[in-house]
Structure 1
Amino acid sequence: MRELVFYRSDIGKCYIENFLDSLSGREAQKVIWVFKLIEELENIPKRYFKKLVNTEDIWEVRVDGRDKTYRILGFFDGNKIVVLNHAFIKKTQKTPKRNIEIAENRKRDYMRRK
């Protein structure tokens, strides 16, 4: 259905891999489970994957951990490829503007270097 890829900076830094490495084994498994849902399901429940309004076509992956909520932001490259480019622990109801700006900047960088 879809393919998830991780954005890499021009010097090869992969923010999503670094984020996953920072999680406990159990929490990383939850994130990877949600990634598989996004790749395999045609209709993904919005509680796991949704487009953020008032953004440059940024999408949000949501993973609820035991006591934390993880967010991974990204965008579509075409119809089937989702490029994930920023991850953070969400502490507020609304996605912080700074996190959206980071995802949008990395999207522009990706498209420029594509």
Structure 2
Amino acid sequence: MQDFLDSLPAKAARKVTWVLKLIEDLDVVPSSYFKKLAGTEDIGECRITFRSNAYRILCFFADDSVVVLTQGFMKKTPKTPRSEIEKAKAMRRDFLRRRIGKHE
């Protein structure tokens, strides 16, 4: 995630950080900033708009209070690219596999 933030213009990176902090602090997050992706059971999308650019950060819940951010990208099409969703799903599977392995 740090590479994604570092790749953004400074003001866009500040907006992304602000939205992530907002999501962390609010009990109920407006859908304009966060939503579950349709067609997935477990992948969420942090939604950030800065000027004319739409940025997305995909994530999943590790438990009730921990959200794992998988990757960020600039959204260029109306729908979230399937390849990005599949990448997030693979990261989730890997995370859960390693997490379970630590407890055995």
Name the TM-score, length of structure 2 as normaliser. 0.92
Report whether the alignment pairs 1:71 with 2:61: no
CA-atom RMSD in angstroms = 0.8
Task: Report runs of 4+ in structure 1 exceeding 4 Å deviation.
Answer: none
Larger gyration radius, structure 1 or structure 2: 2
With a CA cutoff of 8 Å and minimum separation of 6, indicate the structure with the bigger relative contact order. Answer: 1
Candidates 82, 94, 106, aligned match of 2:79: 94
Structure 2 equivalent of residue 9 of structure 1: none
For 2:35 and 2:4, the matched residues in 1 are separated by 20
Report whether the alignment pairs 1:17 with 2:2: yes
Structure 2 equivalent of residue 47 of structure 1: 32
Q: Any idea what SS the aligned residue of 2:77 has?
A: coil
Size of the aligned set, in residue pairs, is 99
Candidates 13, 16, 23, aligned match of 1:38: 23
Unaligned stretches of 5+ in structure 1? 1-15
Call closer, same or farther: CA 1:105–1:56 in 2, change over 3 Å: farther
What is the aligned-residue identity percentage? 52
Unaligned stretches of 5+ in structure 2? 100-104
Name the TM-score, length of structure 1 as normaliser. 0.84
